[in-house]
Amino acid sequence: MDSFDLLERLKAFGCDNASRDPWWWPESGSFTVVAGAILTQNANWQRVEISLENLRAEGLLTPERLAEYPLSSLEALIRPSGFFRAKARNLRDLSLQMLEDFASFDAFREEAEREWLLERRGVGPETADAILNYACYKEAFVMDSYTARLLEALGYSFDSYETLQEWMLEGLAGREEELFPGLPRAQCYARSHGMIVEYCKVHRKGRKVLVEALESG
């Protein structure tokens, strides 16, 4: 099985949940994705949604507002996501640097590069790719714990984020149109990652359940 075979099976299972957003991640293409990508680190998404609602209620889902907001107050708003001190600092620093280097989120969306994101404190490969793909609509395929766990259950082993990503891209290369006719490659990556997450959320109880469910379809 290569990545195309896996994704084709997941789509046949009905895991392509585009009803929540055409790019799967809620409010794609917005600064909300940037905030969510930071907040979701080591956090349950339901807890992240509480934090995002707190930020939204205060009108803080823009880099301009976050950059000037008191750090202690920001910490209180995002406390539900955990690690709130580090995340508040990283989110505000990212907002400040975004405005300094790009002047606005719209410019950042057009010009952002992975290397720039990886230079920011608190931004690793997964967070960088999530921001690039879901906020900036760029060709970045997110690898996460769901992806690693599913492939491990299927007997695959990868020693780094990069080798896992390389395996996924190699199997899919040139065949995105077969999975998602008419969609740009970046959106195919987004929906593919979304299918993996949707599948693992349903079949989350260990290797046997992951494999049996996948092979029985």
Question: Tens of pLDDT along 120-145?
Answer: 999 999 999 999 999 999 999 999 99
User: Please, what is the average pLDDT of the chain?
Assistant: 94
What pLDDT, in 10s, does the model give residues 14-72?
999 888 899 999 999 999 999 999 999 999 999 999 999 999 999 999 999 999 999 99
The pLDDT tens digits for 161-176 are 999 999 999 999 999 9
Q: Which residue has the tokens 């740009």?
A: 184
pTM (predicted TM-score): 0.94
The reported pLDDT for the residue numbered 165 is 98
Amino acid letter for position 47: R
Domain borders along the chain are: 3-24+141-216, 31-135
**DSSP alpha helix (H) spans, the chain:** 3-12, 31-39, 45-57, 63-68, 71-78, 84-102, 105-111, 114-118, 125-130, 145-153, 161-172, 176-179, 185-202, 206-216
CATH code of the domain made up of 31-135:
1.10.340.30
pLDDT for residue 2 = 93
Calpha distance 6→25 (Å, rounded): 21
- Rounded average pLDDT over 67-79: 97
CATH of domain 3-24+141-216: 1.10.1670
SS3 call for 160: coil
Quote the tokens at residue 161. 């984020």
164 token code pair: 């896992």
Q: What are phi and psi of 119, to 5 degrees?
A: -80, -10
Question: Distance (Å, rounded) from C-alpha 162 to C-alpha 159?
Answer: 8
Please check whether residue 186 is in contact with residue 137, taking contact to mean a CB–CB distance below 8 angstroms: yes
